[in-house]
């Protein structure tokens, strides 16, 4: 027959085992909830994207990893991610709804008659894929977007892409997180 001391030791061992399992279960539940919340926030509010292609050089380059932020209002000059044919593209908003866009043969934009200042461009270009007629009026609830690498970019200057509706926007590209040498705010 077991002594009272042995019974107390066995009871303490069983209590410790049960408290360890409860703590482990709580920790696993907390980690699962934290992971689910992180995935939800990342996919709905702060999508993280990897850049493919060269249409936004020098602002972002192939291989860069960037963070976007969903906004209610997008303005000319914003670098945005957008859905296009089941892909996500990154372009810069040049003009908003009802704006009149003009583009000369040297690649200079005029928006509503005012020259567009584009200090972020390495070079201006009319674009090899430009096939729309200018002046062009941006439709309601739409944006005229262009890549910063104007010679190579396929964007709103091409009838195959056209203007982008607000529903197609994923978010404003706000920050580069990779590679280390390019970490920082995107302008």
> In this predicted model, what pLDDT tens digit does every residue of 71-95 receive, in sequence order?
888 899 899 988 888 888 899 999 9
Mean pLDDT over the full length of the chain? 84
- Where along the chain do its domains lie? 1-44, 48-185
| Residue range 48-185, CATH number | 2.10.109.10
Across 102-121, average pLDDT: 91
pLDDT of res. 114: 93
Q: Is pLDDT above 70 for 38?
A: no
Across the chain, where does the E strand assignment appear?
48-50, 65-69, 79-84, 87-95, 100-103, 109-111, 114-115, 136-137, 142-146, 164-165, 169-178, 184-185
pLDDT of res. 1: 61
pLDDT of res. 42: 58
Q: Is pLDDT above 80 for 31?
A: yes
Query: Closest Cα to residue 46, out of 156, 181, 177, 187?
Result: 177
């Amino acid at each position: 027959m077991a002594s009272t001391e042995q019974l107390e030791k066995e009871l303490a061992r069983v209590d410790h085992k049960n408290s360890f399992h409860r703590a482990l279960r709580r920790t696993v539940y907390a980690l699962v909830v934290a992971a689910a919340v992180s995935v939800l926030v990342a996919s709905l509010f702060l999508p993280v994207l990897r850049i493919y292609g060269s249409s936004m050089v020098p602002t972002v380059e192939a291989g860069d990893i960037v963070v976007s932020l969903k906004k209610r209002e997008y303005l000319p000059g914003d670098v945005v991610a957008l859905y296009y044919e089941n892909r996500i593209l990154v372009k810069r908003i040049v003009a908003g709804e009802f704006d009149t866009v003009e583009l000369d043969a040297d690649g200079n934009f005029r928006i509503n008659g005012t020259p567009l200042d584009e200090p972020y461009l390495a070079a201006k270009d009319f674009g090899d894929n430009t096939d729309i007629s200018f002046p062009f009026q941006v439709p309601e609830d739409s944006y005229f977007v262009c890549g910063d690498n104007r010679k190579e970019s396929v964007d709103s200057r091409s009838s195959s892409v056209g203007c982008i509706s607000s529903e197609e926007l994923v978010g404003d590209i706000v920050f580069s997180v990779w590679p280390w040498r390019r970490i920082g705010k995107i302008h």
